[in-house]
Amino acid sequence: MDSAEWLKAERFLAHLQLERRLSSHTASAYRRDLVCLAGFCDREGICAWRELKVHHLRRFAAMSHGGGLNPRSIQRRLSGARSFLRYLVREGEITVNPGVGVSAPRAARRLPTTLDVDQMGRLLEIRGDDPVTVRDRAMLELLYSSGLRLAELVGLELGDIDLADGLVRVTGKGRKTRLVPVGRRAREAVTAWLHQRAGTAAPEERAVFTGVRGRRISPRTVQSRVSHWARRSGMGQRVHPHLFRHSFASHLLESGGDLRGVQEMLGHANISTTQIYTHLDFQHLAQVYDKAHPRARKPAKS
């Protein structure tokens, strides 16, 4: 693939960030996928994007699978290729998108890991009144209270939180905004942090959560602080920020939460994404049944 053809891919990547407002992380994933597709084209003797046909993309998927790539990653690669080719159709570079209808092998649906209510309660028992501890307690409480993604937490601005009404305005994927409730414990923790923040944040900084230099906290720092408190609480498993989101959804549904309502709070475009948590809910009920029902319990060892 020569430089003129690759320039079309560069324009597409710029379009993703400037017009579609996708995160740099998502744009980097698209870039990796297009680099793989361009490498495939070079090996197959395809010199221009317009030469790509349906059978080429099917072969691309098959070779990715043969190379050990899992179905979920192949789906992502094909999705990136389809988006790029759709862009080329829009720009008049090609007339038909050959990626339409090309699918990857079906991926097994993995259930997300969660913490149970007791584990989450233990993790959130964060004691201390120094600014870093107060900030961390507010971040972790808000992650669990409102089911925020890591990028959503880091991106919060001061005007996004209405503590009087107990709401937070979240900017999610695709720059879509939603309003999510904030629970009592999280409101108390955020209020305490905002008092501390006033003396630590840079004067012009609008981010809710700031680091030791007074600037917006980084995702890596949040991940590090979550791991720190998980170790302090004696957790025997890896704990990461997204685990709070999974636990938030699972605990709501276990308590009888409405699936549509949980979908809106999580900001899922498709309810099928939210439905995976109903499998967790069923799994939880099955475990309760196995322990409690007289016909399900294992006989005691003599």
173 flagged as catalytic: yes
Contact 148, 177 (CB under 8 A): no
* Among 173, 185, 240, 279, the one annotated catalytic: 173
DSSP 207: B
- Give the C-alpha distances (Å, rounded to integers) separating 161 from 35, 68, 223, 227: 40, 45, 22, 25
What token pair was written down for 287?
């475990």
* Among 8, 135, 137, 149, the one annotated catalytic: 149
The terminus-to-terminus CA distance of the chain in angstroms comes to 72
Angle at 76 between CA 250 and CA 169, to 5 degrees: 45
Contact 115, 123 (CB under 8 A): yes
251 flagged as catalytic: no
291 flagged as catalytic: no
For 131-145, letters b (16+ CB in 10 Å) and e give bebbbbbbbbbbbbb
Spell out where 149-226 has E strands.
161-162, 167-171, 177-181
Angle at 22 between CA 214 and CA 251, to 5 degrees: 75
135 flagged as catalytic: no
* Among 15, 50, 58, 242, the one annotated catalytic: 242
* Among 8, 245, 246, 251, the one annotated catalytic: 245
Residues annotated as catalytic are: 149, 173, 242, 245, 268, 277
